[in-house]
Structure 1
Amino acid sequence: MRLNVAIVGRPNVGKSTLFNRLVGKKLALVDDRPGVTRDRRESEARLGDMTINIIDTAGLEVAGEDALETRMRLQTEEAVAMSDVILFMIDARAGITPMDEYFANVARKSGKPTILLANKSEGRKADAGFYDSYSLGLGDPVTLSAEHGIGMSELYEQLVKYEEIKLKELGISHEEMQLLAMDDGPEVNVSIEDGESEVPLYDPTKPLRVAIVGRPNAGKSTIINHIIGQERLLTGPEAGITRDSISVNWEWNDRKFKLFDTAGMRKKARVQEKLEKLSVSDALRSIQFAEVVVVTLDVTIPFEKQDLQIADLVGREGRAIVIALNKWDLVDNPQEKLAELREKATRLLPQMRNVPLVPISGLTGKNLDRLLQSVLDIYEIWNMRISTSRLNRWLLNVTKHHPPPGVAGRRIKIRYATQIKARPPTFVVFCSRPDALPESYTRYLLNDLRATFKIPAVPVRMLMRKGENPYAAKAAKRKIH
């Protein structure tokens, strides 16, 4: 029911800046150079009392049939086709260019209502470009400064007219639409009480956030396109096509997903340009906000140093991890190759024992259902909660079988264990001298915990703490007297 609004125009006129302002967050990458945006990005936005779906698009350029710019333009044309209103943006300081005239004609031919935005209109330098924009034949331009927030009220007045037309067709008033928007209030996280029963920490009705990460040209965008069954994301033989982290909503087996496509992450030493640094930062932010991360490996050159660093980063962030072995259609001896890669994963990623390895092909769609099922399975483990009574029965048995070593002639007493949080599973073990407990013994406890409660792959954190001495207060009193 919301108005779908697409922002279009030639490169570097300020489309992503307006998108960020309307959304209220810096979602889209912004830089002075043209052509930063490549994939279309969609989000909910608010303007006054109106809620709309806003679509940021790549800059329109004329190029050859097989060029990257042409594939970018096709993405923009899809955004125009799905929109109710087009915001056609020009740079008022630069004036009208032949490219503006060409694509203004394209906007007119689309038959969609078009609002002309003369951006960067702050200051007198923009006056000439503002008056020139009448020549495009798109009606009265709205003077705008996306960077400074000038002209938002005029844009609202234009958009609300088209919203009223759409709502009238649906038989809904503007006021009723606002009440419906209020009913869609923020989702509340499900809280957990510590007890004997293991309670699920997550709400299965909420979309599961899954980030697809990896080196450049590993096939991340191709995987998402094949999962959702449409060319939603820009793909091609060129490495580093994806810049922004783009989210795509999808439903599989009655389970909602929010898939995040991310920019390829190269070695830190090779990332020199500001734009690539912004892209990598956006990818890292996607990892931080994801629940499950799919690390995509190119099976023709698997487990490069950068692959291992990405996997280690995901583990340190505490996210559940699945490794997708992409381009499996190029493998000659699949059984032998898979056994070899499992051995490598065990040896090179000891901190992620039994991490799921799923051989897939983003190009043909092989095993993509299996990949999504692995994501759901590992997500349940990541949300695991173990009752305190079960933990302490395990702790009693494991310390009886292998007691902690004595240090400087004194025994270390391990008293109690509890799980303080999930996502990832985090445990606290109380003992008499945590600072003296060898790291090897903590590792022994952690490995036995993983094996006993079947917690593969996901990061598990174990904190050693000193319990309160019940006789400390009495000893202090004796010293005073």
Structure 2
Amino acid sequence: MSFTIAIIGRPNVGKSTLFNRLVGQKLALVDDMPGVTRDRREGEAKLHDLSFTIIDTAGLDEGPKGSLTARMQEQTETAIALADALFFVIDARIGLTPADRAFADFARRADKPVLLLANKSEGKHGELGAMESYALGLGDPIQISAEHGEGMGELYDAVSKVVPPTEDEDDEREETDEERAARPIRVAIVGRPNAGKSTLINHLLGEERLLTSPEAGTTRDSIAVEIEHKGRGFRVFDTAGLRRRSRIEEKLEKLSVADALRAVRFAEVVVLMMDSQNRFEEQDLRIADLIEREGRALVIAVNKWDLMEAQPGQISALRRDADHWLPQVAGAPIVAVSGLMGEGIDRLMQAIVEAYAVWNRRVPTAALNRWFEGAIANNPPPAVSGRRLKLNYITQTKARPPSFVLFCSRADAIPQSYLRYLVNSMRETFDLPGTPVRITLREKANPFAHKRKRPN
């Protein structure tokens, strides 16, 4: 029997939307009205190269014995009993509710692995709600958007630690640094049409595995190939060229673009390929911004370098251009290559390995505290409306990409310019070039807020 995961949570948090995304079909009815799902529904889920049985359940709710609500609850309890692990889903936009806290205890008593999914995490309000879910005591929340397909890469990483491997291995343990080094790095090659993505991968493979043509748009599907370079494994995804949305007319191209975006979300490192003759165009910048928003490590490859006339200082000029046009990923590795001639391939693959290491980096807590004290001492936060902002402390919540929570007063008043200062200082101090750095603001709880003022 295949590994089984049950999706549980209170009504209308997006369980059925997640179920549909994992099975790849709209099997479960989805509506804004709570309580649409009543019976448990099973399907065969596919998450990248992981396969398992997924069970959609009714929202956890209470009702009198014998009522429809009570029978729905029984169906959910049966699903939990049948499952090997649980997806506990909350609505990150709403934040924690008393029902979430009560059902978290219910999930904990099941004595099975529980993955906490903060659904609807897109946008600022979703991030704050996800941070709030730490209070449930179910571990780190996995921020996803089942509707838009965001966070599926992080979900894959978490599920891969729970679903047993195909070999007969009973030990379920966290991936060590050595195991991570042995596992292939997932790399997506993206860029505008005809940037030379397929040609580069063919050179890495040493064979004409992918169709290439001077005509733009030859690649339609996201093709995955296994590559080994200097003893290191890579799983590389060739993707369709990404044009401006206004220029996409055919339905087939829309599907190809959606497939390319899906490859970006499942990747760990994304290589943005540009044409050396027309680099840093508007669409290149849009794609780079998408990669940063998805939280993936970025490597820039400037292709067809063999067509450029050799001049001194060209590589330094590339570096300056990259930092000028892409300040949100300052220091991202940039490599001049020729996919056709094989020039710069070794440097590109080394840049991918180094970007992957930075993306996985955790900053020691003591060093983080020393940096934080020095950063606010050298440049204190500005006063807003005559009141000084107080920054209490910062902690790293996860890597992949490096993400931090900053506890402070009046989170909504801290200017974006000051956050950029902190991010840039952190990049320089802890050597985090190019990778997205996330800082989420969280107001420290007031210990006196619950006390009422004495009557006069």
Class of the TM-score when normalised by the shorter of the 2 chains: 0.5 to 0.7
Name the residue aligned to 1:216. 193
Work out the CA distance in 2 between the residues paired with 1:369 and 1:280.
29
Deviation, 1:252, is 1.7
* C-alpha distance 25-432 of structure 1, shift in aligned 2 (>3 A): closer
Which amino acid in the other structure matches residue 205 of structure 2? I
Which amino acid in the other structure matches residue 183 of structure 1? E
* C-alpha distance 296-451 of structure 1, shift in aligned 2 (>3 A): same
Which amino acid in the other structure matches residue 351 of structure 2? S
* C-alpha distance 366-461 of structure 1, shift in aligned 2 (>3 A): same
Match of 1:458 among 396, 421, 435: 435
Name the residue aligned to 2:167. 183
Match of 1:341 among 314, 318, 321: 318
8 A contact 1:190–1:203 mirrored in 2: no
Work out the CA distance in 2 between the residues paired with 1:242 and 1:310.
17
Name the residue aligned to 2:257. 280
Name the residue aligned to 1:161. none
Deviation, 1:343, is 2.1
1:269 matches 2:253:
no
Name the residue aligned to 2:394. 417
Deviation, 1:291, is 0.2
Which amino acid in the other structure matches residue 250 of structure 1? I
Name the residue aligned to 2:420. 443
Query: 1:75-224 alignment to 2 at 5 Å?
Result: 182-183=166-167, 190=174, 200=177, 203-224=180-201
Work out the CA distance in 2 between the residues paired with 1:480 and 1:286.
62
Work out the CA distance in 2 between the residues paired with 1:399 and 1:45.
45
Work out the CA distance in 1 between the residues paired with 2:210 and 2:24.
22
Q: Structure 2, unaligned stretches of length 5 or more?
A: 1-22, 26-47, 52-164
Deviation, 1:229, is 0.9
Which amino acid in the other structure matches residue 319 of structure 2? R
Query: 1:310-325 alignment to 2 at 5 Å?
Result: 310-325=287-302
Which amino acid in the other structure matches residue 427 of structure 1? F
What is the DSSP-based 3-state SS (H/G/I as helix, E as strand, rest coil) of the residue aligned with 1:256? Answer: strand
Deviation, 1:342, is 2.1
Which amino acid in the other structure matches residue 231 of structure 1? E
Deviation, 1:470, is 2.8
Name the residue aligned to 2:134. none
Work out the CA distance in 2 between the residues paired with 1:442 and 1:212.
30
Deviation, 1:383, is 0.4
Name the residue aligned to 1:240. 217
Name the residue aligned to 2:151. none
What is the DSSP-based 3-state SS (H/G/I as helix, E as strand, rest coil) of the residue aligned with 1:288? Answer: helix
Give a deviation string over 1:281-340, Cα, whole Å, max 9, x none. Answer: 000000000000000011011111111111111111100000011111111125443233
Name the residue aligned to 2:74. none
What is the DSSP-based 3-state SS (H/G/I as helix, E as strand, rest coil) of the residue aligned with 2:414? Answer: coil
Which amino acid in the other structure matches residue 432 of structure 1? S
Identity of aligned residues (%): 51
8 A contact 1:242–1:264 mirrored in 2: yes
User: Cα RMSD over matched residues?
Assistant: 2.8
Match of 1:256 among 221, 226, 233: 233
8 A contact 1:200–1:385 mirrored in 2: no
- TM-score normalised per structure 1: 0.58
1:362 matches 2:339:
yes
1:429 matches 2:413:
no
Which amino acid in the other structure matches residue 378 of structure 1? A
Deviation, 1:438, is 2.0
* C-alpha distance 470-361 of structure 1, shift in aligned 2 (>3 A): same
* C-alpha distance 260-391 of structure 1, shift in aligned 2 (>3 A): same
* C-alpha distance 373-184 of structure 1, shift in aligned 2 (>3 A): farther
Work out the CA distance in 1 between the residues paired with 2:270 and 2:341.
22
Deviation, 1:188, is 6.6
What is the DSSP-based 3-state SS (H/G/I as helix, E as strand, rest coil) of the residue aligned with 1:265? Answer: coil
Name the residue aligned to 1:395. 372
8 A contact 1:202–1:383 mirrored in 2: no
What is the DSSP-based 3-state SS (H/G/I as helix, E as strand, rest coil) of the residue aligned with 1:313? Answer: helix
Work out the CA distance in 2 between the residues paired with 1:245 and 1:383.
25
Work out the CA distance in 1 between the residues paired with 2:449 and 2:263.
47
Query: 1:17-56 alignment to 2 at 5 Å?
Result: none
Match of 1:407 among 384, 393, 415: 384
Name the residue aligned to 2:86. none
* C-alpha distance 227-479 of structure 1, shift in aligned 2 (>3 A): farther
Match of 1:381 among 358, 361, 370: 358
Which amino acid in the other structure matches residue 423 of structure 2? L
Give a deviation string over 1:94-140, Cα, whole Å, max 9, x none. Answer: xxxxxxxxxxxxxxxxxxxxxxxxxxxxxxxxxxxxxxxxxxxxxxx
What is the DSSP-based 3-state SS (H/G/I as helix, E as strand, rest coil) of the residue aligned with 2:285? Answer: helix
* C-alpha distance 224-357 of structure 1, shift in aligned 2 (>3 A): same
What is the DSSP-based 3-state SS (H/G/I as helix, E as strand, rest coil) of the residue aligned with 2:264? Answer: helix
* C-alpha distance 421-294 of structure 1, shift in aligned 2 (>3 A): same
Work out the CA distance in 1 between the residues paired with 2:442 and 2:50.
46
Name the residue aligned to 1:299. 276
Deviation, 1:183, is 2.1
Q: Structure 1, unaligned stretches of length 5 or more?
A: 1-23, 27-42, 47-180, 192-198
Larger Rg, first or second structure (1 or 2): 1
Work out the CA distance in 1 between the residues paired with 2:216 and 2:379.
52
Give a deviation string over 1:236-264, Cα, whole Å, max 9, x none. Answer: 22211110000001112222110000011
Work out the CA distance in 2 between the residues paired with 1:201 and 1:229.
28
Work out the CA distance in 1 between the residues paired with 2:240 and 2:168.
32
